Amino acid sequence: MTAALEPPYGERDASGMAGRIDAQPEQIEEALERGAREPWPVPAQPPALLAVGAMGGSAIAADLTAALHRDRLPRPLLVVRDYRWPACVGADALALLCSYSGNTEETLALFAEAVRRKVPMLALATGGRLAEECRARGIGCGSLAGGSPPRAAVFWSWVPITRLLHALGWIPDPAPAWREAAAALRSGARALGPAVAESANAAKRAARALLGRALFVYAGAETLGPIAARWRTQINENAKLLAHSALVPELNHNEIVGWERPGTLHRPSAVLILRDREDAPEVARRLTLTAEYARRQGAEVHEISSGDGGRLARMASLVQWGDYLSLYLALLSGVDPTPIASIDEFKRRLADSRT
């Protein structure tokens, strides 16, 4: 598909990350169809809270869900990225264990601890040990489509987590909003996808301008906090570049001082400001002033808006925007976005350290 595209966007993507990003609307539709076939078996007793145990792309899907329904959830949604649950996760909670591979070390540790604590559980995986443990114990385990790097499967995880909230009676049916989001992503692919020339492609132009700069992603905490984190981690994993994210208003109480002395950064820097129409007026003003301050200190500033549509469609569109940006940063840098050699090596060394 990419062989005929303009250089370098038709090269260096040997593992097909571009095609996976292009296929995000189909991910949503497939997840909705799978969900209709596999309804969540929720507990008869409403849980006091939902605790999601996950790492990486699975965890960000839960963060996105929490942000999406932040003003509607009647009970807490807690995301735990660790080996142990906090004390509040007890027998009156519901634990959702999410691992794309089904073999994530931290998630399996949380599963074992939930068994010991007698916490009601559900799971979400393509297979692996997590699915095996669920089958052996009669625990409901939603199935995910396989064959993808976890970070490229975010919508496969995000859709079923929203479906679980609906099954618990916490939110309305999310399917109509997801169908709107799928349509928005198709429109986004027509504007930002690899087949669109750089002269007409805002994500490609941004990648060209950002290449070689230290990247800082800033957004409002309430609305787009998880999306800023998603942009950072996609730049890390796809482009193999360090990036940083922070949120207003908190960053205006500490991090902004780090910009006080021009020239102290090791190389030129750029700030990416993410905006949404639901940003509170106070947050919008803080983002504007933060951008102005960083620009005065010598940083290049780019502002990206979530655009039109419902809340879910806008959030999904910004996720897509960041995914394409990270892809183009990788291709312009001459690296294949899919392999993650550093993580693979770290896992090997971690395993060796236990022997």
Tokens of 125: 């995986």
Residues that are catalytic: 237, 253, 347
Closest by CA to 303, choosing from 272, 280, 326, is 272
CA angle 58, 62, 65 (to 5 degrees): 140
Write out the chain in H/E/C secondary structure: CCCCCCCCCCCCCCCCHHHHHHCHHHHHHHHHHHHHHCCCCCCCCCCCCEEEECCHHHHHHHHHHHHHCCCCCCCCEEEECCCCCCCCCCCCCEEEEEECCCCCHHHHHHHHHHHHHCCCEEEEECCHHHHHHHHHHCCCEEECCCCCCHHHHHHHHHHHHHHHHHHCCCCCCCHHHHHHHHHHHHHHHHHHCCCCCHHHCHHHHHHHHHCCCEEEEEEEHHHHHHHHHHHHHHHHHHHCCCEEEEEECHHHHCHHHHHCCCCCCCCCEEEEEEECCCCCHHHHHHHHHHHHHHHHCCCEEEEEECCCCCHHHHHHHHHHHHHHHHHHHHHHHCCCCCCCHHHHHHHHHHHHHCC
Q: Which residues lie below 8 Å from residue 97, measured CB to CB, with a gap of 6+?
A: 53, 54, 107, 110, 111, 114, 121, 122, 123, 124, 125, 130
